A = this chain, B = another copy of it.
Amino acid sequence: MTAARHYSEALGTLKEMVLRMGGLAEQMVHLSVTALAERNGELLTGVRPMETQVNRLHVDIDEMCLEMIALRQPAGGDLRFIAAAMKINTDLERIADQAVNIARRAETLLSVPPLKPLIDIPHMARIADEMLKNALDAFVDGDDALATTTIVRDDEVDQLKDQVFRELLTYMMSDPTTIPRAMELILVSRGLERIADHATNVCEDVIFMVQGKDVRHQGP
């Protein structure tokens, strides 16, 4: 097998590992929020084993990236691809972390009566999930246009977070016994906001990878 073939195989393997990690992170978020919204604690049992897999991939992807840089000495687009994979790796691990936090809060909330039917939180989770899916597709296909349109959706998530906050503040002010539950829900919505932020980071990394142009800190 030629060195070039080896190299393109290694790039393919790296892509696959990032996708596998992204898929796990997505499922973890989905399970945690669905467990909370549908009050089905059984769904939470899947989250921990997935975290273990994510953590393993987190270490493996970094190792693979450094090895590829050291052995193949890539430049240009290939180097940007590997650098993007390293950064995306970090964001995916943090998304999984947030999912574990949400799962923990769900566990607490499922042990007490529901405060209210949840509408906005599952809605936030759906948008964050779509953002992450699109971000990963954009990475795999080198699709900077998709990455660009995905970033915009972060505002929807932020608005929903503010809405959740205002609504729960009203609950807390009118009935202090709701405070502990409302606090947990507020922190769940902040976790989802952070997940959307991480998906945004992934999109920015994809744009840099494709265009060789840093779009961070450009403001709206």
Contacts and interface: CB of A to CB of B under 8 A. Distances in A.
Interface string A50-82: 000001101100110110011001111001100
A217 interface: yes
Given A172-B179, A176-B176, A216-B58, A76 B86 contact: no
Interface residue range, chain A: 20 to 34
Nearest to A82: B69
Interface string A153-188: 000000000000000010011101101100100100
A37 interface: no
A133 interface: no
A182 to B, nearest CB: 9
A76 B83 contact: no
A38 interface: no
A172 B173 CA distance: 9
Nearest to A79: B70
Given A55-B216, A214-B59, A179 B169 contact: yes
Contact of A176 (B173, B190, B214): B173
Contacts of A62: 83, 214
A69 B69 contact: yes
Given A70-B75, A79-B70, A217 B176 contact: no
B169 A217 contact: no
Nearest to A54: B217
Interface string A178-220: 0110010010001000000000000000000000001011000
Contact of A169 (B79, B183, B186, B190): B183
Contacts of A104: none
Contacts of A74: 70
Contacts of A75: 70
Sort A-B residue pairs by CB-CB distance and give the 4 closest, nearest first: A55-B217, A73-B73, A70-B75, A173-B176
